[in-house]
Amino acid sequence: QGGTALVWRGRMLVVETAWGAITFDPQRGGTIVDIDVAGYDLEGGVSHDVISYRDSGGLWRMGQEIHGGRWSRVGATSDVPATVRATVGADGTARVMVSVRLDDRPMSIVHSVDPARPLIITTVSGAPRLRRSITLAVRGTGPAVGVTMHQPGAVIERSLERWYRPTFWPLHSFAAPIRDDSGTDRGGGMVVAAANPTGVHVSGDGTVEMVVARTAVKETAFGAIPVMAPAWGLRFGSQAASVAVDLTSGDVIARGRRLSGLLDAAVGRPAPAFPVAVDDLDVDVVAVKPASRGEGVVVRLRNWAPRHERTARLELSGPGSLTGASIVDSRERDLMPLVITGGGAEIPLAGHLVTVRVLSSAASCGAGGGEGAVRIENARPG
């Protein structure tokens, strides 16, 4: 259906799509052993392997470097056979369902393969043993020298390791391995995204590991001294996490933002229906609300562009006209009035986040849509 076909070739399951094919091997835990897409070569390895590590605990693996703790590989789904089933939906999306035992515990792995683009969404669920960290390992597209990551308010670059091997950095939404010393490969390469904040590690060969379950409950410094106020917790039930992988080409940041949005929608968190339109991918509307201090509506913008010497033109798209606009601070105090010209205002983008008060002649300028809706168009200098 939808141009997607499921073909069994010997023991292998091949998902054939309009963009290429993915091969799953039930004898290797249902992992991916081949992806037929330009620029991607597993080189005899596997991808989407679920790995169990013995972890005594310690937030040092999430960016807090405290000497101590134990981390050792226990097993992986690629070490054992699995049961693999597959279906194709009416829209052509293939669902590959893998049932496998990891560390003598049942695990469920579900892959959703996009029919039109090389995008894969994977959901891992299971109840790991105590003092374990479970990761999903995705094979990269080539050697890596760093990692580009989205953090709240910015996109940053980090080294592969800090002090510990491996180093798991805190992941907010999306990340991409940096493939060479000249910086992020902005024309291609792999981009990953997680539905919830987690930890991510990128190895030198470009493999990306993301934590999908964790039951580490004991944290010590130097292997013996309990750390004060650690993140304690006992969870013996099932855990689940969803991860998305993009193997298309194009700007890494734009692909990461798109992938995060697709993943949010897949797990039941679609984007809110803001009464605001953003025509340029360099600017996002992250919040629209009635003003708590003063009049009008407060609109918060996020600027993703590396350059900040830019403006964004703000206009009303609903009934009424724009009567006023000003830059405000986090407490909604007016900082700088904006000049209204031609029914719109030019918003200076001095940083990653900009908050604007919007006043309209319409009877309503609320966040519910209708009258007073706001439109933002990018206006590049020159």
* Global confidence as pTM: 0.78
Three-state DSSP state, 262: helix
Read off the pLDDT of each residue in 253-266 and give the average, rounded to a whole number.
91
Do the beta carbons of residue 184 and residue 148 sit within 8 Å? yes
What is the maximum span of the chain, computed from C-alpha positions, in angstroms?
A: 70
What are the CB-based long-range contacts (under 8 Å, 24+) for 332-339?
Answer: 332/291, 332/292, 332/293, 332/294, 332/298, 332/357, 333/293, 334/294
The pLDDT value given to residue 22: 94
Greatest mean pLDDT among 37-51, 219-233, 281-295, 325-339: 325-339
The pLDDT value given to residue 287: 82
Rounded to whole angstroms, the Cα distance separating 74 from 78 reads: 12
Query: Confidence class of residue 340 from pLDDT cuts 50, 70 and 90?
Result: confident
- Tell me: the pLDDT tens digits for 3-61? 899 999 999 999 999 999 999 999 999 999 999 887 677 666 799 999 999 887 654 44
Q: 77 versus 216: which is more confidently predicted?
A: 77
All domains of the chain, ordered by start, with CATH?
5-266 (2.70.98.30), 276-379 (2.60.40)
Read off the pLDDT of each residue in 196-218 and give the average, rounded to a whole number.
89
Q: What is the dihedral of CA 302, 305, 308, 312, to 10 degrees?
A: -60
- Tell me: the pLDDT tens digits for 149-192? 988 767 889 999 887 778 889 899 999 999 865 544 444 579 99
Read off the pLDDT of each residue in 263-270 and give the average, rounded to a whole number.
88
Do the beta carbons of residue 375 and residue 314 sit within 8 Å? yes
Q: What is the mean pLDDT of the chain?
A: 82
Greatest mean pLDDT among 3-7, 75-79, 269-273: 75-79
The pLDDT value given to residue 136: 98
Half-sphere exposure of 242 (CA within 13 A, CB side): 18
Share of the chain above pLDDT 70, in %: 77
The pLDDT value given to residue 319: 63
